[in-house]
A and B are shown apart, each in its own frame.
Chain A
Amino acid sequence: MQRLGELSTSDFHRRLAAGDLPVRVGPYVYNIHSDLPAVAQGLRALYGDFLLATPQQFVDYDVALVRGSPLQRLRGRAEFLFDRASPFETIPAGQAYAFLEWGMNWCVSLHANEYLKLHAAVVAREGAGVILPGTPGAGKSTLCAALGLQGWRILSDEHALVVPHTTDLVPLCRPVSLKNASIDVVRAFSRDAVFGPVSLETHKGVVCHMKADLTTDSHDPAPLPARALVFPRYSAGDGQYLRPRPRSESFIIAAYHSFNYSLMGEAGFHAMRHLVSSVPCYDLVYRDLDWAVQAMEKVLA
């Protein structure tokens, strides 16, 4: 099977511009179309090891980040397309790459419901998965990136896909989204981190993505069992700690951070109950990334 990075530069550009670039991401296929240099550059930097889908495979999400009408071009605007239609307002072309990544998240957030979806990063070590749910800004992506750079496998930076009635986590590995100060924190943490284009002045500030498929099994589609739920929180002021937290409270918070808990109704309740009653739950408050990585190793010890 062919990887994106194995395409010649001219083939890659031709196929991206023609909207004929079907990329396999976990259980899904995204077909990507773009006429923007930043998108081409980002995909080349971050998706080189992703497998391309064959024409016989079903395309789940047809996405595009393109300059629209001539007027939009003049104004330096671009738009995200899903199913070839524009669900959002146009954006400054300089934010194109970040928007493509958000748009790709949005496809799964809105349209995939065969799994219980938690808003969480998912990492694994030696086949054991850890779910890191978190509010935006809690530091889950930073921790996820650091773990990835320390040899952990990154299963997702955004969606924990839980197979109902099991603790199985379906990998959905895509680049890790880093914002503002966390970009430099991760840069300082490891010189090995590979970054995509920087998008300035987005609604979340400066955004930059980090290559996330860093282990040999990154694109293995087989589900992994979850071994723990860890709720991370970065805090410059509080003391650092790793502490068990009550399951009942974890249930409520995880449900609150789920994209489709209520949509799934009773099935969602049972899926969440099974997950939370099967794995231990922890609070992880950290200031120092090295300390946090060690704490995570204790979780799986």
Chain B
Amino acid sequence: MRRAPDFELLTALLDPGALPGMDMAGAARVVSQARVSRLLASLAMAMQDSGDLERVDPAVRRHLDSAVLVYEKQKQDLAYDCESIRAALESVGEKLVLLKGGAYLQAELPVARGRLITDIDIIVPRERIEAAEQALNAHGWESSKLDPYNESYYRRWSHETPALVHCKRGTTLDLHHNILPPTAGPNVDASLLFERLRTARPGVFTLSLQDMVIHSATHLFHEGEFYHGLRDLWDLDRMLRQFPAEQADFWDGLVERARQLELQESLFHGLVYAQLVFGTPVPGRVMERATTLAQRLRRPLMDFLFLRAFRPDHPDCRLPLTAAALNMLYIRSHYLRMPLYLLLPHLLRKAWMRRGDGDPEETQA
């Protein structure tokens, strides 16, 4: 089902033994594409696990080692930060539930090998979000100061608070009460997630393995910017390959669980594109249950868009019409996030605000 690898990074990821055999020009493209996709440490760890790292030319090897060093440091920093977050939440009787990269790392899942993170994502029940935020504030995690419009936007329409930043360490923490905004089409009942938590280590929890996969797919297909698209799809591939070994009945009920969370469409897309790009093995019966007629009809358009998004942001890898596809995905993400009667005024307001200060960096909502 998978297409032949048509960029060097994909070749190297699919076969950890490939890089040592490449000429220097090919190896340089792998390193460059991997760096821009934030996958260099993942590649290095995959090669370490397969015993191929030793075979790499020292000129290439030092870049892999450098990326691993950054990964190891992030892992250590994460452990330190999690202790602070855990203590803060414990003071108001909440447990620390990690999402995404932080969860994989703290749970020491194989998907975490080489996984880089930019911030820490956690989730608490919606009714506890204020208590959690205040407790975190008291433990050195400061709430970002936003202008009144963005502040009220976050509080009212978002599934997370404005980012918290640790006053000394500078780490960014995203505090969520759901995995999608309340305005999005799927109406995710977040309390279901809390029913199946998995212990990463004493006092630190993650979503269940199935929910992790569903969340990863959801994040990917509701995202508007795809700088990390290939990396996120790689996460999904690793999880789908490894989780059945961790949990014998992983595939059973995966689709039903996604349906229960109203996220079956995201799961479907995740399975399709992991298969298409990385050749991820998915049992036929699971694929069949995940597919609906509507999805089948939309496939050509979705393939056009997503097969362009799941490539490194590098000229060697770009397909024709990539810019148009990425723009359409950006618009699609907003459209998925909120209905038009909310979206249009929001975008107009944003455009107006951007016109004023000329600093689009601050207006990320």
Q: A83-B314, A84-B36, A263-B73 are in contact. List 11 more A-B contacts (CB 8 A).
A: A56-B23, A56-B24, A58-B57, A58-B59, A60-B63, A83-B32, A83-B35, A85-B313, A112-B66, A114-B65, A263-B69
B358 CB to nearest chain A CB (Å)? 11
Binary interface encoding of chain B residues 300-316 relative to chain A, with 1 for a CB under 8 A from any of its CBs, else 0? 00000000000001111
Closest residue to B227 on the A side, CB-wise? Answer: A85
Cα separation A299 to B62 with both chains bound (whole Å):
34
> Of A112, A114, A262, which is in contact with the most chain B CB atoms at under 10 Å from its CB?
A114
B32 lies within 8 A of A58 (CB): no
Please give, as numbers and ranges, the residues of chain B lying within 8 Å of A260 by CB-CB distance. Answer: 69
Interface size on B, residues (CB 8 A): 25
A218 CB to nearest chain B CB (Å)? 22
Please give, as numbers and ranges, the residues of chain A lying within 8 Å of B78 by CB-CB distance. Answer: none
Say which residue of B32, B69, B72 sits within 8 Å of A84 (CB atoms): B32
| CB of B97 within 8 Å of the partner chain | no
Please give, as numbers and ranges, the residues of chain A lying within 8 Å of B57 by CB-CB distance. Answer: 58
Where the two chains meet, the residues of A that have a C-beta atom closer than 8 Å to any C-beta of B are: 55-60, 62, 83-85, 111-114, 260, 262-265
Binary interface encoding of chain B residues 58-94 relative to chain A, with 1 for a CB under 8 A from any of its CBs, else 0? 0110110110011011001000000000000000000
Please give, as numbers and ranges, the residues of chain A lying within 8 Å of B343 by CB-CB distance. Answer: none
Closest residue to B24 on the A side, CB-wise? Answer: A58
Cα separation A104 to B46 with both chains bound (whole Å):
29
Please give, as numbers and ranges, the residues of chain B lying within 8 Å of A85 by CB-CB distance. Answer: 36, 313-314
Interface of chain B: mostly helix, strand, loop or mixed: helix
Closest residue to B40 on the A side, CB-wise? Answer: A111
Closest residue to A263 on the B side, CB-wise? Answer: B73
B36 lies within 8 A of A83 (CB): yes
| CB of B294 within 8 Å of the partner chain | no
Cα separation A111 to B35 with both chains bound (whole Å):
10
A113 lies within 8 A of B25 (CB): no
Closest residue to B316 on the A side, CB-wise? Answer: A84
Please give, as numbers and ranges, the residues of chain B lying within 8 Å of A112 by CB-CB distance. Answer: 62, 66
B299 CB to nearest chain A CB (Å)? 30
A114 lies within 8 A of B62 (CB): yes
| CB of B188 within 8 Å of the partner chain | no
Where the two chains meet, the residues of B that have a C-beta atom closer than 8 Å to any C-beta of A are: 23-25, 27-28, 32-33, 35-36, 57, 59-60, 62-63, 65-66, 69-70, 72-73, 76, 313-316
Please give, as numbers and ranges, the residues of chain B lying within 8 Å of A60 by CB-CB distance. Answer: 28, 59, 63
> Of A62, A112, A264, A265, which is in contact with the most chain B CB atoms at under 10 Å from its CB?
A62
Please give, as numbers and ranges, the residues of chain A lying within 8 Å of B25 by CB-CB distance. Answer: 55, 59
Interface of chain A: mostly helix, strand, loop or mixed: loop
B76 lies within 8 A of A263 (CB): no
Could you list 12 A-B pairs, sorted by A, with CB under 8 Å? A58-B60, A83-B33, A83-B36, A83-B314, A84-B315, A84-B316, A85-B36, A112-B66, A113-B69, A260-B69, A262-B73, A263-B69
Cα separation A60 to B72 with both chains bound (whole Å):
22
Cα separation A43 to B252 with both chains bound (whole Å):
62
B59 CB to nearest chain A CB (Å)? 4
B60 lies within 8 A of A111 (CB): no
B28 lies within 8 A of A111 (CB): no
Please give, as numbers and ranges, the residues of chain B lying within 8 Å of A57 by CB-CB distance. Answer: 24, 59
Cα separation A55 to B27 with both chains bound (whole Å):
12
Please give, as numbers and ranges, the residues of chain A lying within 8 Å of B23 by CB-CB distance. Answer: 56
A59 lies within 8 A of B28 (CB): yes
B76 lies within 8 A of A62 (CB): no
Please give, as numbers and ranges, the residues of chain A lying within 8 Å of B76 by CB-CB distance. Answer: 265
A51 CB to nearest chain B CB (Å)? 16
B70 lies within 8 A of A263 (CB): yes
Cα separation A112 to B69 with both chains bound (whole Å):
10
B313 CB to nearest chain A CB (Å)? 5
Please give, as numbers and ranges, the residues of chain B lying within 8 Å of A83 by CB-CB distance. Answer: 32-33, 35-36, 314
Cα separation A55 to B24 with both chains bound (whole Å):
8
Sort A-B residue pairs by CB-CB distance and give the 7 closest, nearest first. Answer: A113-B66, A58-B59, A83-B36, A59-B28, A58-B24, A83-B32, A114-B62
